[in-house]
Amino acid sequence: MRTVCRVDVSKPAKEQPTPVHNRWHPDVPSVAAVEPGEVFKVECLDWTGGQIKNDDCADDIKNVDLSQVHYLSGPIDVNGAKPGDLLVVEICDIQPLPGQDWGFTGVFAKENGGGFLDEYYPDACKAIWDFEGIYATSRHIPGVRFAGLIHPGLMGCAPDKALLDKWNKREGARTVPPREHGGNCDIKNLSRGSKIYFPVYVEGAKFSIGDIHFSQGDGEISFCGAIEMSGVVTLKMSIIPNGIELYGVSNPLYMPGPVEPRYNRQITFQGISVDANGKQLFLDATAAYRMACLNAIEHLKKHGYTGEQAYLLLSASPCDGKLAGMVDVPNACATIGIPIDMFEFDITPSVDGPVRQRNLGQCAVTSDKK
Q: Is 28 in the site for its own copies (CB under 8 A)?
A: no
Of the pair 187, 364, the CB lying nearest its own copies is at 187
Asked whether the CA dihedral 48, 54, 60, 61 is positive or negative, the reply is positive
Q: How far is the C-alpha of 282 from the C-alpha of 277, rounded, in Å?
A: 15
| Nearest distance, CB of residue 141 and its own copies, angstroms | 18
Of the pair 12, 280, the CB lying nearest its own copies is at 280
Q: Is 29 in the site for its own copies (CB under 8 A)?
A: no
Q: Is 274 in the site for its own copies (CB under 8 A)?
A: yes
Q: Which stretch binds its own copies (CB under 8 A): 56-64, 76-84, 185-193, 305-313?
A: 185-193
Q: Which stretch binds its own copies (CB under 8 A): 23-31, 74-82, 120-128, 326-334?
A: 326-334
Inter-residue contact 275 to 120 (CB < 8 Å)? no
Q: Is 322 in the site for its own copies (CB under 8 A)?
A: yes
In the list 28, 135, 142, 275, the residue contacting its own copies (rule: CB under 8 A) is 135
# residues contacting its own copies (CB under 8 A) = 118
Q: Is 270 in the site for its own copies (CB under 8 A)?
A: yes
Q: Which stretch binds its own copies (CB under 8 A): 50-58, 76-84, 166-174, 199-207?
A: 166-174
Of the pair 30, 263, the CB lying nearest its own copies is at 263
Q: Is 365 in the site for its own copies (CB under 8 A)?
A: no
| Nearest distance, CB of residue 94 and its own copies, angstroms | 8
| Nearest distance, CB of residue 357 and its own copies, angstroms | 15
| Nearest distance, CB of residue 370 and its own copies, angstroms | 27
| Nearest distance, CB of residue 320 and its own copies, angstroms | 7
Residues 284-303: x where in contact with its own copies by CB under 8 A, - otherwise, as a string:
xxx--x-xx--x--xx-xx-
Q: Is 331 in the site for its own copies (CB under 8 A)?
A: yes
Q: What is the 3-state secondary structure (H, E, C) of the chain?
A: CEEEECCCCCCCHHHCCCCEECCCCCCCCCCEEECCCCEEEEEECCCCCCCCCCCCCCHHHHCCCCCCCCCEEEEEEECCCCCCCEEEEEEEEEECCCCCCEEEEEECCCCCCCCCCCCCCCCCEEEEEEEECCEEEECCCCCECEECCCEEEEEEECCCHHHHHHHHHHCCCCCCCEECCEECCCCCCCCCCCEEEEECCCCCCCEEEEEEECCCCCCCCCEEEEEECCEEEEEEEEEECCHHHHHCCCCCEEECCCCCCCCCCEEEEEEECECCCCCECCCCHHHHHHHHHHHHHHHHHHCCCCHHHHHHHHHHCCCEEEECCCCCCCCCEEEEEEEHHHECCCCCCCCCCCCCCCCCCCCEECHHHC
Instruction: Identify residues 243-262 at the interface with its own copies (CB under 8 A).
Output: 243, 246-262
Instruction: Identify residues 47-76 at the interface with its own copies (CB under 8 A).
Output: none
What value, to the nearest 5°, has the Cα angle with vertex 34 and ends 32 and 37? 160
The residues, ordered by sequence, that sit 6+ positions from 205 with a Cβ below 8 Å of its Cβ are 76, 77, 78, 81, 85, 87, 157, 158, 198
Residues 204-233: x where in contact with its own copies by CB under 8 A, - otherwise, as a string:
--------------xxxxxx-x--------
In the list 18, 51, 189, 357, the residue contacting its own copies (rule: CB under 8 A) is 189
Computed over its alpha carbons, how large is the radius of gyration of the chain? 21
Q: Is 152 in the site for its own copies (CB under 8 A)?
A: no
Q: Which stretch binds its own copies (CB under 8 A): 43-51, 76-84, 89-97, 358-366?
A: 89-97
| Nearest distance, CB of residue 26 and its own copies, angstroms | 20
In the list 139, 170, 344, 345, the residue contacting its own copies (rule: CB under 8 A) is 170
Residues 104-123: x where in contact with its own copies by CB under 8 A, - otherwise, as a string:
-----------xx-------
Beta-bridge partner residues of 125: 107, 365
